[in-house]
Structure 1
Amino acid sequence: MKLLVICLGNICRSPMGEGALRARLAEAGLAGRVQVDSAGTSGWHAGDPPDRRAVACAKRHGVDISGLRARALIAEDFLHFDHIFCADRDNLFEAQKLAPAEARERAVLWLPWAGVGESAVVPDPYYGGEADFEHSWALVDAAARATVQRLFRRDDSGIIPT
């Protein structure tokens, strides 16, 4: 199973989401069975570490994302990843424009897919403060927990321990 988390620049929401997913998968004993990555629909920050405020926020929750580096989403990602979780509608739209037609459905709004909210999105904390990063963390962590539960329950997920 391969999961990709998407936001605009891959320096705030998606690296926090990647970190949260990795942490929750590790807690569930699934770390070696699921590949997790993140990317941005823009390449503005390619090669950059996550925003220092995102790193600090994740660290407050016991997750180290300081070693991650931003990259841009590419069309091949749709052939490599099973699920592509988008932070908001704009990123979903941009991701689906890039996707090959046969793989377009792999990109979804992450929170609704995980059952965290029917039309919920992860707001971009970039222009906000610590409280905004904490709010985004709470959402991606809730989605990560729900994602692990959803995948763990699926008989066809390929990650259920035997």
Structure 2
Amino acid sequence: MIKVLFVCLGNICRSPMAEAIFRAKVEAKGLSGAIAADSAGTGSWHIGKEPHEGTRRILRKHSISYEGMKARKLESADFGKFDYIVCMDDSNVSNVRSIPGGERHSQIVRMMDYVPEHPMREVPDPYYTGNFEETYELVNEGCERLLQHICERESLQRED
């Protein structure tokens, strides 16, 4: 089982959006038994809260489930559980790399590393920008490319 963890600051906007989108793409390709996803934040302000209303609204608009999702904080134990830790921006990468403990078996990358031709290198935080549509578009493309990368790297057969 390949495990992917999406990380942002508070785990209420970008990372739960990415988790939900990625899960939907994995399920649509018939790969739920081979790939799992979760999300976490580097901060603890929103632990136990559901995704931000803006995130919920855009996911509903695209008929993507976020059922049961609650914010949690990244833990050092996550490094041994996840193959990919996909961060939304450089600050998240820095915060993830500064967490002590735990063996670092995970690949720590930015979401937009999977979309190298895009001029934006980070996914803006809609908590501050208010632009959940822009975030959705970037995360959706990043998730599509990440899934493609994993399928190619792990020789998984996608059911189209």
Q: Aligned residue for 2:147?
A: 148
Shift, 1:41, TM fit:
0.3
| Residue 54 to residue 33, structure 1, CA distance change in 2 (3 Å) | same
Q: Aligned residue for 2:110?
A: 109
**TM-score, normalised via structure 2 length:** 0.89
Per-residue CA deviation, residues 71-117 of structure 1 (Å, 9 max, x unaligned), is 00000100100000000000110001115485176221121145464
| Residue 138 to residue 104, structure 1, CA distance change in 2 (3 Å) | same
Matches of 1:47 and 1:41, distance apart in 2: 14
Shift, 1:64, TM fit:
1.7
Q: Aligned residue for 1:96?
A: 97
Q: Aligned residue for 2:79?
A: 78
Matches of 1:79 and 1:117, distance apart in 2: 31
Shift, 1:67, TM fit:
2.3
Matches of 2:109 and 2:150, distance apart in 1: 15
Report the aligned-residue RMSD: 2.0
Matches of 2:98 and 2:119, distance apart in 1: 23
Q: Aligned residue for 2:129?
A: 128
Per-residue CA deviation, residues 28-87 of structure 1 (Å, 9 max, x unaligned), is 111221110000000110000000111001111110214200000000100100000000
Matches of 2:69 and 2:151, distance apart in 1: 26
Q: Aligned residue for 2:5?
A: 4
Higher helix share: 1
DSSP-derived class of the 1:108 partner: strand
Q: Aligned residue for 1:32?
A: 33
**TM-score, normalised via structure 1 length:** 0.88
DSSP-derived class of the 2:85 partner: strand
May I ask how many residue pairs the two structures share in their alignment? 157
Segments of structure 1 that go 5 or more residues without pairing to the other structure are none
Q: Report % sequence identity.
A: 35
Q: Aligned residue for 1:54?
A: 55
Matches of 1:119 and 1:105, distance apart in 2: 24
DSSP-derived class of the 2:86 partner: strand
